[in-house]
């Protein structure tokens, strides 16, 4: 990953409309985030700060605790700092971010994500360069900056972030025991919880059944529609081995009109964070073809729209492209 100059994006902090940038169902939800990790070894690991007895204002984000950190963002903002030992600016930005976060006395948490150890986190946030800072509020990602940044620059962005958090009812804080002081979030509806439990157990068929039952009972349940589309995507990809995925890409390249290959590669693109590539591949297929294959592709595209999030700007753009080839 490259490391560009400082590029703040404070305007994004006022638009919590980036659903789909973080795939909340792609990483398993584990135990709650732990306290601050031990100081890094001298091998280039992430620098640490704070005393052992302090509340966990800084945690190391992993695939294991990612879901709980996102869940915590319903109570307090979580600032994900994605870093790499190979990016010279990373240690300085981590130090600066930790100093600023600690100065707010528990009003937000810093989650340091080592993209070398956990590349899936970089994929989830669609990060192309490090260091990169992305806040999460109520599960919605808010891009903040890429590249080097000093204390003042980070503080200015956090001030804006906290205003957005307050406007969305996220005003909790971390107490001395390291727990959010606000009440726990409301439990999921039973069928949604059943789907989440099934996903965590790797039983995608059961998750699909739970979401479909939820939609039978509440056809307008947007969260069930999105969950169903996401888990169906996960189920399709689970069946593919790495050699099979490579072969699928070869088929798609050699035969642009192979609907199965084109839809399969679109799945791979979207799961890898290349949302627009996946959408455009299917739209191009629809524009070239007629008959039942065209309808199959159109239906799949609409399902993927639900999975990414119908309010996502990439979905809006893809809908325009779809309309052009259909009419």
The three-state secondary structure class of 203 is coil
- Whether residue 10 has pLDDT greater than 50: no
Least confident residue range of 52-56, 99-103, 156-160, 323-327: 52-56
Q: Quick one: pLDDT at residue 175?
A: 59
- Mean pLDDT (whole number) for 172-198: 70
Q: Quick one: pLDDT at residue 5?
A: 44
Facing residues of 143 across strands?
134
Least confident residue range of 75-79, 141-145, 170-174, 248-252: 170-174
pTM above threshold 0.75: no
In the chain, ranges of CATH 3.40.30.10 domains: 10-167
Confidence of residue 310 (pLDDT cuts 50, 70, 90): confident
- Mean pLDDT (whole number) for 276-304: 95
Q: Quick one: pLDDT at residue 37?
A: 34
Confidence of residue 29 (pLDDT cuts 50, 70, 90): very low
Q: Quick one: pLDDT at residue 185?
A: 54
- Mean pLDDT (whole number) for 241-251: 91
Q: Quick one: pLDDT at residue 281?
A: 97
Mean pLDDT (the chain, rounded)? 80
Confidence of residue 201 (pLDDT cuts 50, 70, 90): confident
Confidence of residue 101 (pLDDT cuts 50, 70, 90): very high
**Percent of the chain having pLDDT more than 90?**
48
Least confident residue range of 5-9, 108-112, 118-122, 311-315: 5-9
With tokens 């035969």, the residue in question is 255
Q: Quick one: pLDDT at residue 296?
A: 96
- Whether residue 216 has pLDDT greater than 90: yes
The closest alpha carbon to 134, from 160, 105, 111, belongs to: 111
Q: Quick one: pLDDT at residue 26?
A: 42
Q: What's the chain's Rg over C-alpha atoms? A: 21
Q: Tell the CATH topology of 10-167.
A: Glutaredoxin (3.40.30)
- Whether residue 102 has pLDDT greater than 50: yes
Please, which contacts does 155-161 make with residues 24 or more away whose CB atoms are closer than 8 Å? 155/100, 155/103, 156/10, 157/8, 157/10, 157/13, 157/133, 158/79, 158/100, 158/101, 158/104, 158/108, 160/10, 160/13, 160/14, 161/13, 161/77, 161/79, 161/108, 161/135, 161/137
**Higher per-residue confidence, 248 vs 327:** 248
Confidence of residue 267 (pLDDT cuts 50, 70, 90): very high
């Amino acid at each position: 990953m490259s490391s560009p100059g400082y590029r703040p994006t404070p305007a994004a902090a006022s638009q919590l409309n980036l659903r789909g940038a973080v795939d909340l169902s792609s990483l398993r939800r584990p135990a709650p985030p732990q306290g601050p990790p031990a100081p890094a070894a001298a091998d280039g690991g992430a620098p640490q700060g704070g005393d052992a007895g302090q509340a966990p204002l800084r945690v190391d984000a992993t695939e294991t605790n990612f879901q709980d950190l996102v869940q915590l963002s319903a109570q307090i903002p979580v600032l994900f700092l994605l870093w790499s030992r190979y990016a010279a600016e990373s240690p300085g930005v981590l130090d600066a971010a930790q100093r600023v976060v600690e100065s707010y006395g528990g009003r937000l948490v810093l989650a340091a994500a080592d993209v070398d150890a956990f590349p899936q986190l970089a994929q989830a946030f669609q990060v192309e360069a490090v260091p990169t800072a992305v806040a999460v509020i109520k599960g919605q990602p808010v891009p903040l900056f890429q590249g080097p940044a000093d204390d003042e620059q980070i503080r200015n962005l956090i001030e804006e972030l906290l205003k957005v958090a307050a406007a969305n009812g996220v005003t909790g804080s971390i107490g001395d025991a390291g727990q959010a002081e606000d009440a726990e979030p409301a439990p999921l509806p039973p069928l949604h919880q059943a789907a989440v439990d099934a996903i965590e157990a790797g039983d995608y068929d059961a998750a699909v059944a739970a979401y479909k039952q939820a939609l039978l009972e509440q056809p307008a349940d947007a969260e069930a529609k999105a969950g169903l589309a996401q888990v169906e995507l996960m189920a399709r990809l689970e069946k593919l081995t790495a050699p099979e995925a490579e072969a699928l890409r070869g088929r798609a390249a050699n035969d642009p009109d192979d609907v199965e290959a084109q839809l399969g590669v679109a799945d791979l693109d979207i799961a890898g964070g290349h949302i627009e590539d996946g959408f455009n591949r299917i739209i191009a297929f629809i524009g070239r073809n007629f008959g039942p294959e065209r309808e199959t592709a159109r239906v799949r595209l609409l399902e993927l729209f639900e999975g990414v999030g119908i309010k996502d700007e990439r979905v809006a753009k893809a809908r325009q492209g779809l309309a052009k080839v259909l009419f």
